[in-house]
Structure 1
């Protein structure tokens, strides 16, 4: 009977996935926040990734009219309209039970293509290597010789308070601290097609 051989890359991915799951269950340690707001797809094991691209599309390049966005929390999708015509749909991950995304009618207040969080991220050394990952600066203390590096929230479109749409990790369910995470390519498309003042409706 032949023995099953698991490639080294697969073994590493599985070990990383187990480590990620373990850290999520150990939230009492050092004030961990399990903040997955803006993890790059390459930093999350493929087995833990949610394939959002099957739900997301864009057909709006040749559609005229003013932009508007409807964020639907119940189906975890954002609907982009131009002049009342549906131009595209993006999969989402909105706020979790403890950090619900605020519902209501808003407008895009700010656009920041290379936005970084000022609360959540990593402690890194002088060379930029991560020493402590996934921290909350209001709870976690920087080890000696490290500095805070905020989580990347690229293509940030603020629409109420500190909440906005931006690229981030989508696990397939509401999991953010209130922001609206989108697949990177869809965040870029939405960003390039909105202006300050674009109406944003968030419905339950």
Structure 2
């Protein structure tokens, strides 16, 4: 698996239909406009047991400030973290706590619960299936992709 910290965006590539390609083996995202490469970014996709599914999809929803409804933390009413990195489907909520979903800024829903969003990108698959981009690149991809943008996820 190749990893690069190199991310870039070409503002001079204008017009054309946007298309995003996610390469799972390279852990890279490529943003095209009208067939021309406009930018690229490292990503972190699904770890073992939570693999990011390959296929061709379309962005179905976008939200600047989104929180996960599956993964996050159980916190006290005053905000103190009582239990971190929980999955609400498996981890019991401590009495008196509330669920605070993990931050997923610049969320672009791709396939059911699978989304592209800003997050930690360590250089290898580490997510619960989502496609994490560095914050600055998630913001750029979000600004240039619209609902309906084609997303190809290749092995």
Q: Give yes or no for TM over 0.5.
A: yes
Q: Is the 8 A contact 1:60 1:82 kept in 2?
A: no
Counterpart pick for 2:59 among 78, 93, 108: 108
User: What is the count of residue pairs matched by the alignment?
Assistant: 153
Output the CA distance in 1 between the equivalents of 2:109 and 2:115. Answer: 4
Q: Is the 8 A contact 1:121 1:136 kept in 2?
A: yes
Output the CA distance in 2 between the equivalents of 1:150 and 1:122. Answer: 6
Query: Hey, which of these two has a bigger chunk of helix by percent?
Result: 1
Query: Hey, which of these two has a bigger chunk of strand by percent?
Result: 2
Q: Is the 8 A contact 1:105 1:202 kept in 2?
A: yes
Structure 1 stretches of at least 4 aligned residues deviating more than 3 Å after TM superposition: none
Aligned to 2:130: 179
Q: Is the 8 A contact 1:53 1:183 kept in 2?
A: no
CA distance 1:146–1:102, change in 2 (3 Å): same
CA distance 1:64–1:163, change in 2 (3 Å): same
TM-score, normalisation: structure 1: 0.71
Aligned to 2:32: 81
Q: CA RMSD in A?
A: 1.5
Counterpart pick for 2:44 among 93, 104, 109: 93
